[in-house]
Amino acid sequence: MVFLNYLVPLIIVVVALVIFFYLVPVGLWISALAAGVKVSITTLIGMRLRRVEPASIILPLIKATKAGLDLDVGLLEAHYLAGGNVDRVVNSLIAAERAGIPLSFERSCAIDLAGRNVLEAVQMSVLPRVIETPEVTAVAKDGIELKVKARVTVRANIDRLVGGATEATVIARVGEGIVTTIGSSHSHKAVLENPDSISKTVLEKGLDAGTAFEILSIDIADIDVGQNIGARLQGDQAEADKRVAQAKAEEKRAMAVAREQEMKAYTQEMRAKVVEAEAEIPKAIAQALREGKLGVFDYYSLQNLQADTQMRKSFGEKGEKREDEKI
């Protein structure tokens, strides 16, 4: 019973100490005091109550103080609560201060909250990055295809990081400039002889406008000659013209065959009419004899005339056969 009387107060004391050391990070407070950072115990307790990890605020604050930056603990906590990365913001401010780049705390927080890596942007401002474009295919006016690879040296523009376009936009604009420059060249040989003309023309277009970068240089890494697109297109056009001509010729041939068949049918029709007319001749002669319009003498004279005509016709056919045999 006496043991229980001592055990209960001991448990209460232990729980109270655990809660105290949880709410009051004494070790972190001592580290801040040792680094010359003025922060009170109540501030640390308030961070705990606001569900803010004190180490995420105090350690970057110690780092900034040692680097000579004057930052407010309340602003750091506000940026943390907004979902920002306090440590990265402080590192970017230190790097910018060492490199002599003007960067305010508010600007750094805005860049960080916008989803950009502000520390990487500061580092890129000091050490520019080289972006290699994919292979760009373009055709000169003489129809020769050229395949170009370029290296774009860019530097981050701190003032345009918020709302500025990304690297993909820069690569797309550079590719468009290369295609335009090669497409306006009269000969692919001029491009091969002077590839710097591509770089100069593209740089003059101001392709970094509206982006988060500043283009320092555009260097042509490789140029390869591709296919003769102009000749291929001309060949395709010639093949198409050939097919059109063949179609027209086939159409004319079909029309000629149809016309021939039509004329044959018309000839047969005319022959039928001639035979029909010849069949009416004996009837007409008989009718004339009955009516007395044609005498017997006239009839025999007509018969003699027909026989003479038939004989002459037979002599003419024999002569044509002999001439054909001689040939």
Decide which of 283 and 325 is more confident. Answer: 283
In a domain, 265, yes or no: no
Residue at which a domain ends, from 111, 126, 141: 126
Say how far apart CA 197 and CA 182 lie, in whole Å. Answer: 9
In a domain, 120, yes or no: yes
What average pLDDT does this structure show over 76-96?
89
Give residue 20's pLDDT. Answer: 60
In a domain, 285, yes or no: no
**What is the DSSP track for 132-187?**
EPPPEEEE-TTSEEEEEEEEEEEEE-GGGTTT-B-HHHHHHHHHHHHHHHHHT-S-
In a domain, 113, yes or no: yes
In a domain, 313, yes or no: yes
Same domain? 108 vs 180? no
Same domain? 30 vs 67? yes
Q: pLDDT per residue over 263-281, tens digit each?
A: 888 888 888 887 777 777 7
Do 164 and 210 contact (CB within 8 A), yes or no? yes
Give residue 144's pLDDT. Answer: 82
Give residue 305's pLDDT. Answer: 73
What lies within 8 Å, CB to CB, of 196 at 6+ separation is 220
Maximum average pLDDT range among 48-57, 70-79, 289-298:
70-79
Give residue 21's pLDDT. Answer: 58
Lowest mean pLDDT among 46-60, 95-109, 137-151, 294-308: 294-308
In a domain, 322, yes or no: yes
What is the span of the domain harbouring residue 308? Answer: 295-327
The pTM of this model reads 0.58
Same domain? 106 vs 157? no
Three-state secondary structure string covering 68-86: CCCCCHHHHHHHHHCCCCH
Same domain? 33 vs 120? yes
Do 19 and 41 contact (CB within 8 A), yes or no? no
Residue 153 has pLDDT above 80, yes or no: yes
**What is the DSSP track for 236-300?**
HHHHHHHHHHHHHHHHHHHHHHHHHHHHHHHHHHHHHHHHHHHHHHHHHHHHHHHHTSS-HHHHH
Residue at which a domain ends, from 103, 126, 149: 126
Residue 309 has pLDDT above 80, yes or no: no
What average pLDDT does this structure show over 141-157?
85
